[in-house]
Amino acid sequence: MNKLLMIPAAMLLGTAVAAPRISAQSIIVNPVQPDLSVSVRVDKDQSGSSNPTYRVGENIRLSTSVNRDAYVYLFNVDANGEVTQILPNRLNEGNFVKANTTTTFPATGANFTFTVGEDVGLNKVLALASLTQLNLDQISAFKTGQDSFATVTPRGQQQLAQALSIVVNPLPQNSWISDTAFFSVVAQTPVQTGNLFVGTNVPNATVILNGRRLGSANTTFSGLQPGSYPVRVQAPGFRDYTTTVAVRAGSTTNLNVEFAQTVATTPAPVVASGQYTLAIRSRVEGARVFVDGQEVGIIRGGTLNVTVARGGREVVLIAPGYRTFVSTYNVQRDAQVTINPAR
């Protein structure tokens, strides 16, 4: 799991708010615009417009600022949904931040560090600022007198959002505000192999690469040696699809197969119950796409087809030079969405 560790410390943040709104972009959203503001950043992104990358084991620092004296609470939601309460903790003097100052955690000269953990994927850091102290007893607790960080009960962005919405609901709406930062975690050592994602529009398809069966389609196959290989995709009731793909070190090659011509008069297969194809279209070539915190591919040729389960799915699109796009879609059938993030 990906969490911030102390001296090995990794962090992440989640999204939440109930009576206030739950938002994919900001996690917990105040329905009014208070005169209190807060910002949170990771040390590789002080502009707030990109999604910086950290390697496993790399140190990371958070900074936060407010325009009024306030208590600031920091949470980390990792790629697997584990939530870590970063602030308050027992290593800092407190979580009170003075107006118009920037406070960094850990501070220069502190006797601990935050180190990125092992779970690879998209992370979120949530900052919640309040003019009064909040009671987090129903959300987190220090289990022993030696614990430096509190244990958080909610798991994942949605549960954290709902729990925090209960905490802030009784407060005056102009007395609290939130902000969210994003960062990605990648493997510690430089990647010498490549990945291949094969997507299809039918179930039960099988992928054969260079004569070796890799497994079922709609899957990303990792750890492949770079090079050009023949690929055969087979599906019951359809003619085999064959092509050649180039696997490149440190990147994912996407192959989307649209089966159309049947071998005989066999009826076309039906999509498995609860599984649908979400076609993600964008003019931003090379943009990385995450679904529910997991990277699923890269935009090539303007489209990426992703197989997802029914229900609310969080889609994040990240590309250099563009603002991070985050939204949640309620998938009830095969569908397509167009995402063109702002610069």
The Cα 191–Cα 17 span in angstroms is: 38
pLDDT given for residue 33 in this prediction? 82
Q: What is the pLDDT of residues 193-236, one digit of tens each?
A: 899 999 998 889 999 998 899 999 999 999 898 988 999 999 98
pLDDT given for residue 267 in this prediction? 44
pLDDT given for residue 130 in this prediction? 95
Q: Which two tokens stand for residue 95?
A: 């979580």
> Hey, which of 66-75, 171-180, 208-217 has the most confident mean pLDDT?
66-75
Higher pLDDT, 5 or 61: 61
pLDDT given for residue 109 in this prediction? 81
pLDDT given for residue 273 in this prediction? 54
Higher pLDDT, 192 or 194: 194
Q: Which two tokens stand for residue 288?
A: 């990385």
Q: What is the mean pLDDT of residues 75-102?
A: 89
Is residue 1 scored above 60 in pLDDT?
A: no
Q: Which two tokens stand for residue 295?
A: 């990277």
pLDDT given for residue 150 in this prediction? 87
Q: If DSSP states are collapsed to H, E and C, what string results for 245-292? A: EEECCCCEEEEEECCCCECCCCCCCCCCCCEEEEEEECCCCCCEEEEC
Q: What is the pLDDT of residues 22-61, one digit of tens each?
A: 655 567 777 788 889 999 999 988 655 568 889 888 999 9
Buried b (16+ CB within 10 A) or exposed e, 158-196: bbbbebbbebbeeeeeebbbbbbbbbbbbeeeeeeebbb
pLDDT given for residue 22 in this prediction? 60
pLDDT given for residue 339 in this prediction? 92
Return the biggest CA–CA distance within the chain: 73
Q: What is the pLDDT of residues 97-134, one digit of tens each?
A: 999 999 998 888 887 888 888 888 999 999 999 999 99
Q: What is the pLDDT of residues 270-312, one digit of tens each?
A: 444 578 999 999 999 999 999 988 889 999 999 999 999 988 8
> Hey, which of 108-117, 172-181, 321-330 has the most confident mean pLDDT?
172-181
Beta strands in 154-274 (DSSP E): 176-186, 194-200, 206-209, 212-216, 219-224, 227-234, 241-247, 252-257
Is residue 2 scored above 50 in pLDDT?
A: no
CA atoms within 13 A on the CB side of 138: 11
Specify whether the CB–CB gap between 133 and 72 falls below 8 A. Answer: no
Structural domains of the chain ordered from first start: 5-186 (2.60.40.2550), 191-270 (2.60.40.10), 272-343 (2.60.40.10)
Q: What is the pLDDT of residues 131-161, one digit of tens each?
A: 999 999 989 988 877 778 888 999 888 899 8
pLDDT given for residue 42 in this prediction? 92
Confidence of residue 190 (pLDDT cuts 50, 70, 90): low
Confidence of residue 13 (pLDDT cuts 50, 70, 90): very low
Confidence of residue 8 (pLDDT cuts 50, 70, 90): very low
pLDDT given for residue 97 in this prediction? 94
pLDDT given for residue 40 in this prediction? 92
The Cα 329–Cα 115 span in angstroms is: 33
pLDDT given for residue 14 in this prediction? 34
Q: What is the pLDDT of residues 262-274, one digit of tens each?
A: 444 444 444 445 7
